[in-house]
Each structure stands twice: as structure tokens, then as C-alpha cells.
Amino acid sequence: MEKKIIAIVAIFAAGTILFASDYIFEIGEPLPGRGSSISLPSFSLPFLKILPANDAVVNAEAWIVFETYLEFARTHNLDGVKSLSYQISAACQDLARESECLTLMDSVYAFGSTLKKEDFNHVYYDNRQVILSTDAPAVAILYFTRDEKGVLKMLGLRFCFEDENAPGSCARNMTKNDTDGNGWWDSTESLFTHN
């Protein structure tokens, strides 16, 4: 039964990535220590409290959310994407911009479907956020948030092209800073569209 619940949660989570920003696939000049980023959308799930026991459990839970989110994007299931997203792009909130929203979903799926679970071998988490990342030099980073009930939501996807030994590396500093002391790591908070 727990496996079925985890599978359901994962399916819903994959849709979140697509709709967080109008610029979801814009890769510009990286900010110092941050790399390039793609923001992703968000939505709500029914309460299913899953208490992570270790890195492997958290990684599996987050990956299920990501895969589910991608499937919702592939099938243009906007309600599904919203249910797994921390935030949603303006294009997907406006019925008049439906074609733009569908294009965003297609882009998210095309881009996200190339990622492989086995490459995300680094897991960072606390009670508010989860980050999965790959090894350098081309680092892919998946960001998730947890709502007040512990349910994971997709937040975003960021890429950093860097030397893993660089002191200001986004891969090394993902969880070290919470400048404003509000409980969100700076790297997570940088993806919020409502800072």
C-alpha cells in the first residue's frame, strides 16, 4: 500500500516543474555562484504524509514527483501540473495564453525526460525543501518544496556548468546559506517568483 501511495505522489509531482515561470527554459548568464536556471510550476495534492527515513527514501519520493510532473506535462494535464507545483507560470494561469502554456509543457517534458534518476546521486533536504543534483562539471539540480503537510511540490530545475572544485560553485553552496533566516536556502528561494 505504501508503494502505491508513493507512486501516486510521484506522478503528481512531475507536473510541477513546468509551470513556475514564463521563462522556464531560458538559460542566461549565470549569477555568481548560482549557474543557469529554469523555474518550474506548482500545485496541491491531498494530504499524504510520508516521513523520509534517509537519503534514498527522499530521493525516491522526489523522483516519483518529478516523473509524475513530466507525465502531466506530456499529456497537457494542466490540473495535474498545478497539483504538483509550488508555483505556476503566468502563461498557465491565463486561459487566453493556453497555446503558450501548452508550449511550456512540451518544452518541460522534452527537456526533463532526458534526465536519468541514477545521475542524481546527491540529496539535500530538510523539512521545507529537497534538492537532488548530479556531479560536476555539468550539474543538473532539481528543486522541491514541502508544504505544511509534508507533501513534495516541484519548484524548479537549474543547470550549472562549472568546475566542482570552484569555491563559489552552485553545486557546493546549495544548502549552506539562508541569508534572510527564513528557513529557505538561498538557492531554493532564488527560484521563487514571489520573492
**pLDDT tens, position by position, 167-186:** 666 666 676 689 999 999 99
Identify whether the C-beta of residue 73 lies closer than 8 Å to the C-beta of residue 41.
no
Whole-angstrom Cα distance, residue 63 to residue 146? 14
* pLDDT tens digit sequence for 77-110: 999 999 999 999 999 999 999 999 999 999 999 9
Give the pLDDT of residue 165: 65
Confidence band for 157, pLDDT divided at 50, 70 and 90: very high
**Beta-sheet pairing, 36-39 with 152-161:** antiparallel
Q: Residue 130 to residues 78, 133, 142, 146: CA-CA distances in angstroms?
A: 23, 10, 8, 8
Q: Domain-by-domain residue ranges, the chain?
A: 2-189
Burial (Cβ within 10 Å: 0-12, 13-18, ≥19) of residue 73: buried
Overall residue count recorded for the chain in this entry? 195
0.75 surpassed by pTM? no
The answer on pLDDT for 25 being more than 50 is no
